[in-house]
A = this chain, B = another copy of it.
Amino acid sequence: MALVNEHFLKLSNSYLFSDIAKKVHAFNVVYPKAKLIRLGIGDVTRPLPPACIEAMHRAVDELADASTFHGYGPEQGYGFLIDAIIKHDFTKRGISISPSEVFISDGAKSDTGNIGELLRWDNSMAITDPVYPVYVDSNTMCGRTGSLDENGRWSNVTYLSCTEENGFIPALPNHRVDLIYLCYPNNPTGTTLTRDQLKLWVDYALENDTLIVFDAAYEAYITEPDVPHSIYEIRGAKKVAIEIRSFSKTAGFTGVRCGYTVVPKEVTASDIKGNRIPLNSLWNRRQCTKFNGASYITQRGAEAIYTPEGQQQVKQTIDYYMENARIMREGLTDAGFKVYGGVNAPYIWLKAPKGMTSWNFFEKLLYEVNVVGTPGVGFGPSGEGYLRLTAFGKREDCQEAMQRIRRWKF
């Protein structure tokens, strides 16, 4: 008989978002006429930029004619998109990246989930806590996280707490680890690191020979000048960091599926004998073997993000969401809540009042003002006592939610 990968069995069967869906469904059964406002899920609502729409129509038409048809593309992505990425996302910021260091994919979630395949299962790892659950779940699947204790912590994971006390800026690990996941701007807290703060992490990685997986999916939401858009703005980072980017939140590509990962040629890990192995060639081999490139139509759409019109249109959408964030921050603060994030990120991290747990506050918000958030504890133990709200909703929904919350006697 075939034996299952036993590590899969350690994962909980229920997911945060399906638990939420069940509770919302139960509410709906009792109060079918209530007008729910969903500020919980991190999906966008604005349409795609017209430049992307036009580019994708053109790409579809190319596939209709044998003389312009595109079949298999390069597994690593098309040069036209890689060149646009390098020029706009890196060269402009003084970062030198070569085309063979950029790998286009069907989205940051795939890359985030798959990147761990390049490393031995028994490397030690650290995450900031709370954080995007895929880092832990994907590492659990290969056995890297160990076993789960009663407090919801994995035995082989170093949790770097992000709390009100430290301003949600985690301290460096007090020991060395092999692998660290960083996500900035952060999902779910909406916080960022300044250049000096991020430099501490790069220096730690250089000193400790640690690999950083830097998730910059929300880079486009940065508004403050001292917040780096790429980890490669920090000297030395090209030796220690892989950076993952997404077009999902930048340009509304959550349903179109495109992202990219930068694996600099200098980033290495070690074999058992101590030889340094470039991760670039391993990732290339992984992608060539298990992936066949992102859709041509998608890649042409993503290329259009980098045209002057595309850049202008993307900015309008991001401004829309960030105005939502401002409205929500202001409304919540006026109502007496403690609020974090929402300045360089589309996420608002709302402290539950009166020491309530995440789930208690979630239910109170649902039943008393009919607003759906995401319980912070779903992102990790240190998320307990918080709720994540997102700025991706419709303007009128954000406004109405704030009106209800301002009137609310909680």
Contacts and interface: CB of A to CB of B under 8 A. Distances in A.
A61 interface: yes
Interface string A179-202: 100000000000000000000000
A98 to B, nearest CB: 19
Interface in A222-277: 252, 254-257, 269-272, 277
A295 interface: yes
A57 interface: yes
Interface in A158-214: 178-179, 209-211
A2 B211 contact: yes
Contacts of A282: 4-5, 8
Contacts of A149: none
Interface string A141-171: 1000000000000000000000000000000
A50 B279 CA distance: 42
B4 A255 contact: no
Which of A41, A48, A209 has the most chain B CB within a 10 Å cutoff? A48
Nearest to A68: B47
A57 B58 CA distance: 9
Chain multiplicity (copies): 2
A285 interface: yes
Given A71-B255, A117-B141, A4 B277 contact: yes
Contacts of A128: none
Contacts of A134: 289-290
A307 interface: no
A179 B137 CA distance: 25
A69 B45 contact: yes
A256 B297 contact: yes
Interface string A285-324: 1101111111111100000000000000000000000000
Interface stretch (A106-114, A349-357, A370-378, A381-389): A106-114
Which of A48, A53, A69, A295 has the most chain B CB within a 10 Å cutoff? A295
Contacts of A281: 13
Interface string A3-17: 111101101010100
A179 to B, nearest CB: 6
A37 interface: no
15 contacts: A1-B209, A2-B119, A2-B209, A3-B269, A3-B270, A5-B282, A11-B285, A56-B297, A69-B252, A71-B252, A106-B292, A114-B290, A117-B141, A255-B293, A295-B297
Given A4-B120, A8-B282, A9-B271, 6 more contacts: A2-B119, A3-B271, A6-B271, A57-B60, A60-B60, A138-B289
